[in-house]
Amino acid sequence: MATTMITTLDRSSRAAARGLSDISIRNLFIIPTILFLIVFNIFPLIYSLGYSFTDFRASTNAPANFVGLQNYRDLLNDPYVWSNFAITAKYVIISVAGQLFVGFGVAMLLNRDIPLKGFITTLLLLPMMLSMAVVGLFWKLLYDPSWGVINYALGLGNFEWLADPRMALYAVALTDIWMWSPFVMLLSLAGLSAVPKHLYEAAAIDRAGPFYTFFRITLPLVAPILMIAVIFRTMEAFKTFDLAYILTSQPTAELISIRLYKMAFQEWQTGRSCAMAYIVLIMVLAITNIYVKYLNKVKER
């Protein structure tokens, strides 16, 4: 069956001349990838599941003791962990909603014939191409109350973006929105340009207003691709680490991944942090599944 699935090899090609069959070429490409995946992803995943039921600490020689569900119980009873989850949820909602709004808005603006369209699009994509850590360091300087550009430009005086416990999370989300809106914009642009022009023409003939056209034609047709953007961004926002870690150390902005990092690599509570990682994994899987179900529904329409 496999042989019929792939295009057969050109008999005059060099690979064929060396006596390599289709199957061996396929194996040559796939087996290293599968091996890599097993060694670096699947195996640690299963191994860490085992650790999550022990009190193992990688920093000592003490043997790991089986503690059953103790780690999970402790974590789910820890008010700090719950507050980390609440903070993360808030962050995901703010930052993904913001990116969707800004990204889709910019895409709508760009989806027309304007001069230098390609150039503008490229420029708008730049933030996305920077490294997270670099963006974090830059924005830390921009937000600085004493010499930061943002307060200077907005005339906010000594407003403390990152040092104010109530503001810190929004400041991190704002940076994330700046960085990743272009991603949503790019996907939206692709979706928008795929909407058939004749639908708009028909709407114009029927004298449909701009709102009606947007909600009845544009949005439904772009929705599937927007959903993909939302899935990607939600998963990414859920595991945001570098940006928040560099920008602020406010407990009110301590995302779950930062907590996990501290537990695993500063406190070396290996067993417990494995349990935590599994809780996070299950949550991300659940959320993604909801989205995927919804995406399929949207596509069916």
Partner 1 sequence: MRKIVTSVLAGVGLALACGTSVHAQEKSLTIFWAEWDPANYLQELGNEYEKETGVKITVETTPWSDFQTKAFTEFNAHGDAYDLVVGDSQWLGAGSTGGHYVDLTDFFKKHDLGNVMAPATVKYYSEYPGNSGKYWAIPLEGDAVGWSYRKDWFEDPKEKEAFKAKYGYELDVPKDFKALRDIAEFFYRPDQKKYGIAIYTDNSYDAMAMGFENALFSYGGELGDYSTYQVDGHINSDKAVAALDAYKELYKFTPPGWAKSFFVEDNQAITENLAAMSMNFFAFFPSLINEASNPNAKNTGFFANPPGPNGDQFAALGGQGISVISYSQKQDEAMKFLEWFIKDETQKKWAALGGYTCSAAVLKSPEFQSATPYNKAFYETMFKVKDFWAVPEYAELLQQLNQRIYPYMIGGSGTAKETLDALAADWNATFKKYGRVK
Report the candidate in 284, 277, 283 with the shortest Cα–Cα distance to residue 71: 277
CB neighbours of 200 closer than 8 A, spacing ≥ 6? 213, 217
> Measured between alpha carbons, how far is 144 from 57 in angstroms, rounded to an integer?
39
8 Å CB contact between 276 and 259: yes
Our CB check for partner 1 shows the closer of 12 and 158 to be 158
| Binds partner 1 by CB under 8 A, chosen from 41, 65, 249, 289 | 249
| Binds partner 1 by CB under 8 A, chosen from 162, 169, 186, 231 | 162
- Report the nearest approach of partner 1 to the CB of residue 271 (Å): 12
* 70 part of the interface to partner 1, by CB under 8 A: no
| Binds partner 1 by CB under 8 A, chosen from 269, 276, 278, 279 | 269
* 163 part of the interface to partner 1, by CB under 8 A: yes
| Binds partner 1 by CB under 8 A, chosen from 265, 281, 285, 296 | 265
* 251 part of the interface to partner 1, by CB under 8 A: yes
Residue 10 carries which DSSP code? Answer: P
Residues in 94-153 at the binding interface with partner 1, rule: CB under 8 A: 143-147
| Binds partner 1 by CB under 8 A, chosen from 41, 60, 65, 296 | 60
> Measured between alpha carbons, how far is 94 from 86 in angstroms, rounded to an integer?
12
Distance of CA 217 to the CA centre of its chain: 28
Helices 168-193, 117-129: axis angle to 10 degrees equals 140
Listing DSSP states for 56-119 in one string gives --TTS-SPPPB-TTHHHHHHHH-HHHHHHHHHHHHHHHHHHHHHHHHHHHHHHHHSS--TTHHH
Our CB check for partner 1 shows the closer of 19 and 115 to be 19
Helices 79-110, 117-129: axis angle to 10 degrees equals 170
Our CB check for partner 1 shows the closer of 7 and 61 to be 61
* 44 part of the interface to partner 1, by CB under 8 A: no
- Which of the stretches 23-31, 208-216, 264-272, 276-284 binds partner 1 when contact is defined by CB under 8 A? 264-272
Our CB check for partner 1 shows the closer of 239 and 262 to be 262
Our CB check for partner 1 shows the closer of 32 and 165 to be 165
Our CB check for partner 1 shows the closer of 172 and 295 to be 172
* 32 part of the interface to partner 1, by CB under 8 A: no
> Measured between alpha carbons, how far is 260 from 253 in angstroms, rounded to an integer?
14
| Binds partner 1 by CB under 8 A, chosen from 32, 165, 196, 220 | 165
Kind and range of the H or E run holding 207: none
| Binds partner 1 by CB under 8 A, chosen from 27, 213, 252, 288 | 252
> Measured between alpha carbons, how far is 140 from 247 in angstroms, rounded to an integer?
6
Residues in touch with partner 1 (CB under 8 A): 57-61, 80, 143-147, 158, 160-165, 245, 248-252, 262, 265-269
